[in-house]
Amino acid sequence: MAEATVDRDREIMTVNVGPHHPATHGVLRLVVDLEGEMVRELRPVIGYVHTGIEKSCEDKSYWKVIPFVERMDYVSYFFQMEAFCGAVERLIDLEIPLRARYLRTIFLELNRIHSHLVWLGTTALDLGAISMLWYCFRERDKILDLFEMATGQRMHTRYFQVGGVIEDIPVGFEAKCRAFAEEMPIRVGQYQDLLDRNEVFLSRTKGVGIVSRERLLELGVTGPLLRAAGDPWDLRKAFDYLAYPEMDFKIPVGTVGDNYDRYRVRVAEMVESASIVRQCLDALPEGPFIADDRKYVLPPRSELSTSMESLIHHFKLVTEGFRVDPGEVYYSIESPRGELGCFVLADGSAKPARVHFRDPSFVNLQAFREMAVGTYVADMIASLGMLDPILGGVDR
Amino acid sequence: MPDAPGLELIRGEIERDFPGAVPATSYDRAQAALNVDPARVLDVLRWLKEQPGHRYDFLSSLHAADYLPNEPRFAVHYELINRDRVERIRVKAMLADPGNEELPEIDSCVELFPTADAQEREVFDFFGIVFRGHPNLTRILMPDDYVGWPQRRDFPVGGEPVTFTYSEERYG
């Protein structure tokens, strides 16, 4: 019979994972060729949450674009705002006040901790450590409380404006934020106590999903994935922006570049971020929190009832928005997932002619095939978690 | 970032090896860009990547833009980084619209920079720019059977018909 010649041990079965599956961290579909439990080939299929945000931005005046871009990578919204606002500030050559730089740095680093906490909770959940999720989300909630206190929103805060931030931090924020930044390293120590000597966690992560540093660079991978492979590349150190040149912080790097190193690098980054927040609070300069250029920045609310000129500026900025001379700028920052770049093309009108985001998840996802092929299905899920893609950012 | 004179030096060195490959440079808002001849873009990228003393060997972003109504209309941007000197440079290849529903073409740089794979597919998906020699040039974010190039400037915002019309039909 023909069946007798079929080699059952070498049979390849194609399995579809996702797009709606908790372990895919969003709406990601994986077409996986399996030989028994082993992954032999893998093809990620993306685009399920593509909403055309970049196209929609072309129809909005510059200041109305900010809430749109926040919704791309919905876990690191402050970074999207900074990338876009920073690009526009470079286009119009607008210097932001010192206090605004420090405030932005504080919120970016809080957001980095927040993003890593979401990653740690959900990835540990994938590996069977369910209690990590509750511990991580407990601290995440404290960060969201801080965001709510300063901006009025827990997520998608629209706090950064072209020229600075929309409002100064309220009374009591500093003390609350400092208390959090003092507490965070202790909490990180607790997470490490739970995971670092956990036999299941160690055997599931050590030596799994290794991709060499050279290959990662070829694939354009940045962020904690690249640093876990031993390359200390961090845009906060490499390029000057915001208050980072004045901050004293380390870049954690790994040695082998397996999933365990990826975990250790991110956990160490949380401690460094908490230290940056503390340093920013210590050195927080007094002064204005937004630039005083009425051509681009809304006048203070209090002036509207007394100054005709302010009212005109306010009216013009809200109805038409400000115009930007033709030009193009690419501005990139270090997001929790790597290099987040924003390209803005201005054509002289009040709306951008093109807004493009170089999303780190989109580029990093290309390394997933090499991380997962040749490992077990269960390790593929672990590697995906350690890659930490946010599909809202991938699909935009 | 190389400054404006540094950019001219780089251009001069490339022109010595490939005459006519870099017709212009631009230095705007402290960002350096080489405008290259699209037919020679691979030569320039390889030179920048491999030339000793330069080695802009990390492609951080590849994206496109539509400069309608200017001519040539499209541009593919390559944002390169020299990680030793911590310098960025932009390589810009302007592409004319061939008209008659034909698509503009440029060489794919996937061989040089494997990271360009997904990003070139994205540019193809949204602008209809064909990358010659790309291993798998298909739509990446839009559905496979989609017709049109949505990020072009002459593609209207809201030009997508609404698929779910139940409420519209029922309530008007």
pLDDT at A344 exceeding the cut of 90: yes
Mean pLDDT value across residues A49-67: 90
The DSSP element (H or E) to which A98 belongs, if any, is: helix A98-126
Q: Among candidates A201, A267, A189, A195, which has minimal Cα distance to A228?
A: A267
Residue A228 has what pLDDT? 92
Q: For chains A and B, what is the number of CB pairs under 8 angstroms?
A: 96
pLDDT at A3 exceeding the cut of 60: no
CATH number of the domain enclosing B109 = 3.30.460.80
Q: Per-residue confidence at A1, pLDDT binned at 50, 70, 90?
A: very low
Residue of A nearest to B112 (CA): A218
Domains of chain A and any CATH numbers: 75-353 (1.10.645.10)
Could you tell me if B95 and B131 are in contact, meaning their C-beta atoms sit under 8 angstroms apart? no
Residue B172 has what pLDDT? 66
Mean pLDDT of chain B: 87
Counted domains in chain B: 1
Query: What is the pTM assigned to this prediction?
Result: 0.91
Instruction: Report the C-alpha gap between A281 and A174 in whole angstroms.
Output: 7
Task: List pLDDT tens digits, range A346-396.
Answer: 998 999 999 999 999 999 999 999 999 989 998 998 899 898 889 888 988
CA-to-CA separations, A62 to A155, A180, B2, B69, in angstroms, rounded: 21, 34, 29, 21
Instruction: Report the C-alpha gap between A201 and A392 in whole angstroms.
Output: 28
Chain A: closest CA distance from residue B68 (Å): 9
Which of A128-132, A171-175, B167-171 reaches the highest mean pLDDT? A171-175
Is the CB of B82 inside 8 Å of chain A's CB atoms?
no
Instruction: Report the C-alpha gap between A369 and A375 in whole angstroms.
Output: 11
Could you tell me if A253 and A227 are in contact, meaning their C-beta atoms sit under 8 angstroms apart? yes
Chain B CB contacts of A47 under 8 Å are 139-143
Query: Given A47, A328, A358, which is nearest B61 (Cβ)?
Result: A358
Q: Per-residue confidence at B161, pLDDT binned at 50, 70, 90?
A: low
Residue A6 has what pLDDT? 57
- In order, the DSSP letters of A284-344 are ---S-SB---TTTSPPPGGGTTT-HHHHHHHHHHHHT-----SEEEEEEEEETTEEEEEEE
Q: Which residue has the higher pLDDT, B24 or B163?
A: B24
Range in A32-36, A107-111, A266-270 the model is least confident about: A32-36
Q: Which residue has the higher pLDDT, B124 or B68?
A: B124
Residue A91 has what pLDDT? 92
Q: Among candidates B122, B126, B106, which has minimal Cα distance to B44?
A: B106
Task: List pLDDT tens digits, range A284-319.
Answer: 999 899 988 888 998 888 888 898 999 999 999 998
The answer to whether the Cβ–Cβ distance between A366 and B83 falls below 8 Å is no
* 3 state SS of A393: helix
Instruction: Report the C-alpha gap between A341 and A359 in whole angstroms.
Output: 7
Mean pLDDT value across residues B148-160: 81
Complex ipTM > 0.90: no
Mean pLDDT value across residues A264-291: 92
**Helices and strands counted in chain B (H then E):** 4, 7
Residue B1 has what pLDDT? 64
Is the CB of A41 inside 8 Å of chain B's CB atoms?
no
pLDDT at B26 exceeding the cut of 90: no
Instruction: Report the C-alpha gap between A10 and A25 in whole angstroms.
Output: 31
Q: Per-residue confidence at A2, pLDDT binned at 50, 70, 90?
A: very low
- E-strand stretches of chain A: 13-17, 20-21, 26-27, 29-35, 38-45, 160-161, 164-165, 327-335, 338-346, 352-358
Percent of chain A clearing pLDDT 90 (strictly above) = 53
Q: How many degrees, rounded to 5, is the angle at CA A367 between CA A362 and CA A371?
A: 140
Range of the domain at B60: 4-171
Task: List pLDDT tens digits, range A150-178.
Answer: 998 898 988 999 989 998 999 999 999 99
Chain A: closest CA distance from residue B115 (Å): 4
Chain B: closest CA distance from residue A295 (Å): 19
